[in-house]
Amino acid sequence: MNTLLSFGLHHVWKRSTLREAALSRGMRVLDACGGTGDLAALAARQLNGTGTVTLYDFSLEMIRTGRRRADARAGTVSHVCGDARFLALKDCCVDVVLIGFGLRNLADMEAGLLEFQRVLKPGGRLVCLEFSQPCGVLLRRLYDLYSYRVIPVLGRLITGSREAYTYLPDSIRQFPPPDRLRQLFEQAGFSNVRYRLLTGGIATIHIGNKTYDL
């Protein structure tokens, strides 16, 4: 189901996200919270073997699925399995951090943004695709049902692993309104922060530049 979504409206949004990233030859790209690997594949294809793309996610099964898809479509993409409760990217320096519908899954969103700021080189760019704050009780309940029940069950059936496609208990409930997310970007040390609403405000693309180290 995630794959079907990724080839539908999600795919259109992710192409818009990649355009905002303004990738060029030789860049180092981190696809954070990469999940199904769509952004990593699109980025690798655009770099055409001249740069590096790393897929970072919290579930090993998600990474394996995403990497297989990315490799099949765009060449080799390296991968790192991390922890949503304590985001630690170690020592690396990247030109662009891409996030496609994953920022809300971090246990500590503010700490995650600080970590992304740390690993970006001066002049680097963070581009984040995220849902706007869901409105309506019914929509929220349907989304929670899909996230907590449908995806874990299908993940176990497809992969045979009980740990596949599971979310932290409260992490997915972080839906800051666009203006609030913009403030979080600025507090994390990003400059020239801006956002663009997509498809009637269902999703937003946030863009920020790193001009200094905190």
**Position 172 confidence tier, pLDDT thresholds 50, 70, 90:** low
What are the pLDDT digits (tens) for 180-205?
999 999 999 999 999 999 988 888 99
The overall pTM is greater than 0.85:
no
**16, 21, 189, 214 from 186: Cα distances, Å:** 22, 18, 5, 12
* C-beta separation of 34 from 57 below 8 A: yes
Query: Which residues neighbour 11 within 8 Å (Cβ) at sequence distance 6 or greater?
Result: 38
> What are the structural domains of the chain?
2-210 (3.40.50.150)
Distance (Å, rounded) from C-alpha 184 to C-alpha 163? 31
What is the pLDDT averaged over residues 158-179?
66
* C-beta separation of 100 from 127 below 8 A: no
- The residue with greater pLDDT, 192 or 1, is 192
What is the pLDDT averaged over residues 87-91?
70
